[in-house]
Amino acid sequence: MGSLLREIQERRAKRALDTRKVPEDVVRRIMAAATWAPSCFNNQPWRFIVIESEKALDTVKGYLADGNYWAQKSPFIVLAVTENELDCRLSDTRNYALFDVGLAVESLVLQAVKEGLVAHPIAGFKPVPIKKVLGIPGKYTLITLVILGYPGDESHLNEKHLELEHSERDRKPMEEVVMFNSWTLERPDNQD
C-alpha cells in the first residue's frame, strides 16, 4: 500500500495551543478549503461562522464543556452549521446535509494541518445558547466547533490530556471496519 497524504498522517486531536493570532490569509485558505468540499448535487449545505474577535471568542468559549478547558487558548474557532432543507433528501428519508458538512469540515481540518495548525473538532459545547447569542436561526443545527491554533505549551493540560498528547495513534484495524463486496462482520444475535 502506498503512503497516505502527509496531512492525514500528521493530523492529531491535539490540545496544547498557542494563543498567537492566525494570519488572515491562512484563515481564508482554511475556509476556502472547506468550501471546495464535494456535496450532493453541489448544494453546499454548510454554513460556517469564523470566530476570531476577542469578544466573540470569549462568548463562545463561555459555553464550552468543562473538559474542553484547553480550548480557552484558541485564537480561532469555526462553527459548522447546516439545515436539512439545504441539501438532498433521498427517497429513504436520508438527509444528506450532515454528511456533506462532515466532508467540508474534513477539508478544513486537512488544510489547517497543512498550514501548521492544530484543528480539533469538538462536540462538548452548549449549542442552544451559542445559537441564540450569535443569531443562528432555530431551524439550523450547530454540528461542531472546530478549535484551531498553532501548537503550543502543554503545561496547562491535565494529566489525562497530557498523556493523550503523546500517546500512539489508536485506530481499529482495517479488518474490523472495512469490508469488501458484502457484510462480513459478525452481527449480534437478533439484529438485521
pLDDT the model gives residue 102: 98
Average pLDDT, stretch 5-19?
Answer: 92
- Please give the pLDDT value at position 65: 98
Query: Residue 2's CB: how many other CB atoms inside 10 A?
Result: 3
Tell me the three cell numbers of residue 182.
458484502
The tens digit of pLDDT for each residue in 80-103 reads 999 999 999 888 888 899 999 999
Number of independent structural domains in the chain? 1
Separation between Cα atoms, residue 47 and residue 179, nearest integer Å: 33
- What letter does residue 143 receive in the DSSP assignment? E
Given a cut of 60, whether residue 189 has pLDDT beyond it is no
Can you give the pLDDT at residue 53?
A: 97
In which domain, by residue range, is 39 found? 6-156
Band (pLDDT 50/70/90 cuts) for residue 187 is low
Q: pLDDT value at position 191?
A: 57
pLDDT score at 88: 92
CATH number at residue 25: 3.40.109.10
Is 169 part of any domain? Answer: no
Q: Which of 3-12, 101-110, 138-147 has the lowest mean pLDDT?
A: 3-12
Alpha carbons within 13 angstroms on the beta-carbon side of residue 17 total: 26
The confidence band for 16, taking pLDDT boundaries of 50, 70 and 90, is: very high
- With a cut of 60, say whether residue 140 has pLDDT above it: yes
Model confidence at 188: pLDDT above 70: no
Provide the pLDDT for residue 169: 86
Note whether residue 141 is domain-resident.
Answer: yes
Q: Judge whether 40 lies within some domain.
A: yes
76 close to 22: Cβ distance less than 8 angstroms: yes
Matching residue, cell 496547562: 156
**117 secondary structure, DSSP code:** -
Residue 190 within any structural domain of the chain: no
Question: At 121, which helix (H) or strand (E)?
Answer: strand 118-122
The pLDDT tens digits of the residues spanning 165-185 come to 989 888 899 999 999 999 988
50-72 pLDDT, tens digit per residue, is 999 999 999 999 999 999 999 99
| CB 142, CB 136: distance < 8 Å | yes
Q: Is residue 65 part of a domain?
A: yes
The answer to whether residue 165 sits within a structural domain is no
Q: 147 lies in a domain?
A: yes
**Rounded CA separation 140/91 (Å):** 22
CA dihedral (59, 18, 102, 100) in degrees, to 10, reads: 80
Element (H, E) at 79: strand 76-82
The answer, yes or no, to whether residue 119 has pLDDT greater than 90, is yes
b/e code 87-100 from CB counts within 10 Å (16+ = b) = bbeeeeeebbbeeb
Does residue 76 form part of some domain?
yes
